Chain A
Amino acid sequence: MSKEVPKVSIHALDNLWFQVGGTVCNLWCTHCFISCSPDNHAYGFMTLGQVRPYLESSKRLGVKEYYFTGGEPFMNREIVEILAETLAIGPATVLTNGTVFREGDIRRLAEVERSSPYSLEFRVSIDGYSPETNDPVRGEGVFRRAMEGVRLLLRYGFLPIITAARVWDEKEDAFVQKQFVEALRAIGYDRPRLKVLPPLRLGREVARSRGYADDEQVTPEMMAGYDQGHLLCSNSRMVTDRGVHVCPILIDFPEARLGETLEEAMTPYPLRHRACYTCYLYGAICSNAPSLPEP
């Protein structure tokens, strides 16, 4: 196997991510690839003032979609205004655990979304179709609270994308997805949207399942004939309160911070991390694409 590391150029900055929730989360999920928790302050909340200049420069670069994650974005007091300002210029997606919504915020976001030409997508993380399958990963009582969050979003006219990390055996995919659909229909979501994520063997996930094996690495040979457009680093960047990073997955790696501005961060990036292997296999895992494509 070659020791060279393939590099990926960014063709266009289509997707701009913001770590608005930092690494602060009310939950302590056993599979979190950046080990978010109530007391992980490695990255902090981003203020509207910090987000705004990046939104401004994103227009020059022709950004197509905006994504907001954390940590838990709805622990950030400015999240509603950040999303409102984004929806004035483009479509926004917010990744949330759905357990800390305030009804007033959702009502306001519904008003903003109705008056914007752009979609506001909610991606609500739920990893099992029942308390018994979800709560061992996400915490006691979290399934019930997240489903209440989904119900609230439905009440205000949103169609949330339920995002499940595959914490079950691959062979059970069809069964698990069917159970999810039934659980969501049971609370009145008659056309549930579901996205399944492959496990990222970083952070706490290493202890829950395993880390990457030695041969799980992208080599130059593997890039022959491969469409680099599948890789997030060919079309996306991630903004945190500490600068611009190559992608949402790798913020714990200091070398993945590419600069202070978007322009500085438009440099090629080597696929040197083991997590790049997951991205290589499944492609576009961070986008709103609904389900797990075949590797």
Chain B
Amino acid sequence: MDTFNRIAVFGGVYNNYLALEAAVGDARRRGAEALFCLGDLGAFGPHPDRVFPILMDAGVRTMQGNYDHSVGNGLADCQCGYTDPRDNYFAKLSYDYTFARTSNRHKAWMRDLPRSIRIRLGDYRVLMSHGSPRRVNEFLWESATPTHFLEKLCDDFGADILLATHTGLHWHRPLSNDRRFVNVGVIGRPANDGRTNIWYTILTAGGGLDVAFVPLEYDYRSLAAEMRAEGLPQAFIDTVLTGWWTCCLEVLPMKERRRGKY
């Protein structure tokens, strides 16, 4: 198993290739020895095919999210886990857009991505998953995930550090025996906090573990302009420009919902 001391981990990219470019550069400047992406390459943003060359050229170790599984296997929807009609309406718009504009070569590449990644970070056994180690589209929200549940996941899957994404919001919970759960956030869209930056995560081992959530500015105005040119929904563009989520909110638990504007 590969061992590192400092890694950078990116959550959902959501076609936001401008944020991905910025995150790769920033992580390298901060001395990350390896870069990881926890899946959901498509959705939301413009020009899906622009994401793949960046991942490949930078050697980002990428795993499969529910979106990549769907697009790669030609499924009818993104398996995002929404049940609200308005949420599903927007999810379908972005899925159809992404599916139609992703090349067959990149679909095949996504189809073969691993569903989890295990490495060592110092002495810590790290398990990376998209939603959770047990289900690719499980939402692990900070206010709806008990500590004892995370402890059990660590026990069941033999890991000291669990990394996941899928919800779009970064958070971190220390567990017993110096174990951790970290939701690394996403680089595809802002964190519903009224700020336009995105977030990724740097983990450093050495005399303990340091978890750093990195706020990262990128050219969000260009992204919004490209989304407009591609005819993507105004609701998505508003999120890029304001930092507030405007749709797919019905899955949020109350605390997370209350922090947002809509």
Q: Considering only CB atoms and an 8 Å cut-off, how many residues of chain B contact the other chain?
A: 27
Known: A119-B253, A193-B250. A157 touches B258 (CB 8 A): yes
CB <8 Å contact, A63 and B149: yes
Least CB distance from A283 to B in Å reads 9
Least Cβ–Cβ distance between A184 and chain B, in angstroms: 14
**CB 8 Å contact bits of B238-262 with A (1 = contact, 0 = none):** 0000000000011101111110001
Is A188 interfacial (CB-CB < 8 Å)? no
CB neighbors of B among A116-130 (8 A): 117-121
CA distance A63 to B144 in the complex (A): 11
- Give the total of A residues in contact with B, Cβ under 8 Å: 29
- The stretch that binds B, out of A44-52, A71-79, A197-205, A285-293, is A285-293
Known contacts A62-B149, A90-B149: A117-B258 contact under CB 8 Å: no
B143 on interface, CB distance cutoff 8 Å? yes
Which residues of A have CB within 8 Å of B143? 91, 117-119
- B255:A291 contact, CB within 8 angstroms: no
Asked whether any CB of chain A lies closer than 8 Å to the CB of B85, the reply is yes
Contact of A62 among B148, B254, B258, B262 (CB under 8 A): B148
Any A CB within 8 A of the CB of B146: yes
Partner of B85, one of A60, A62, A291: A291
- Min distance, Cβ A214 to any Cβ of chain B, angstroms: 30
Near A by CB (< 8 A), chain B positions 139-183 give 142-149, 151-153
Which residues of A (222-253) have their CB < 8 Å from a CB of B? Answer: 229
A90 pairs with B254, CB closer than 8 A:
no
Is B83 within 8 A of A291, CB to CB?
Answer: yes
- Rounded to whole angstroms, the CA-CA distance of A64 and B153 in the bound complex is 11
- On whether A121 and B253 interact (CB within 8 A), knowing A289-B83, A290-B83, A291-B84, the answer reads yes
> DSSP class of B's interface residues: helix, strand, loop or mixed?
helix
Q: CB distance B84 to A119 under 8 Å?
A: no
CB-based nearest A residue for B250 = A290
Chain A residues lying within 8 Å of B250, measured Cβ to Cβ, are 193, 290-291
Which residues of A lie under 8 Å from residue B256 when comparing CB positions?
Answer: 119
Whole-angstrom distance between the Cβ of B202 and the nearest chain A Cβ = 24
A3 interface residue per 8 A CB criterion: no
Given A119-B253, A193-B250: A64 and B84 interface contact (C-beta under 8 Å): no
Asked if B145 and A159 make an inter-chain contact with CB atoms under 8 angstroms apart, the answer reads: no
A290's partner among B84, B145, B258, B262 (CB-CB below 8 A) is B84
Once A120-B254, A157-B258, A159-B254 are accepted as A-B contacts, the answer to whether A90 and B83 lie under 8 Å apart by CB is no
Is B254's CB under 8 angstroms from A63's CB? no
Is A191 an interface residue, CB under 8 A from the partner? yes
Q: Are A191 and B262 in contact (CB under 8 A)?
A: yes
Q: Is the CB of B253 within 8 A of A91?
A: yes
- In the complex, whether A80 has a CB less than 8 A from a CB of chain B is no
**A–B complex contacts, Cβ < 8 Å, 26 sampled:** A59-B148, A61-B152, A62-B152, A63-B148, A89-B146, A89-B148, A91-B143, A91-B144, A91-B146, A118-B255, A119-B253, A121-B253, A121-B254, A159-B254, A191-B257, A191-B262, A193-B250, A229-B135, A289-B83, A289-B251, A290-B83, A290-B84, A290-B251, A291-B83, A291-B84, A291-B250
B contact set with A: CB distance below 8 Å: 83-85, 87, 134-135, 142-149, 151-153, 249-251, 253-258, 262
Chain A interface (Cβ within 8 Å of chain B)? 12, 58-65, 89-91, 117-121, 157-159, 191, 193, 229, 284, 288-291, 293
The 7 A-B residue pairs whose C-beta atoms are closest, nearest first, are A62-B152, A90-B146, A59-B148, A119-B253, A290-B250, A119-B143, A289-B83
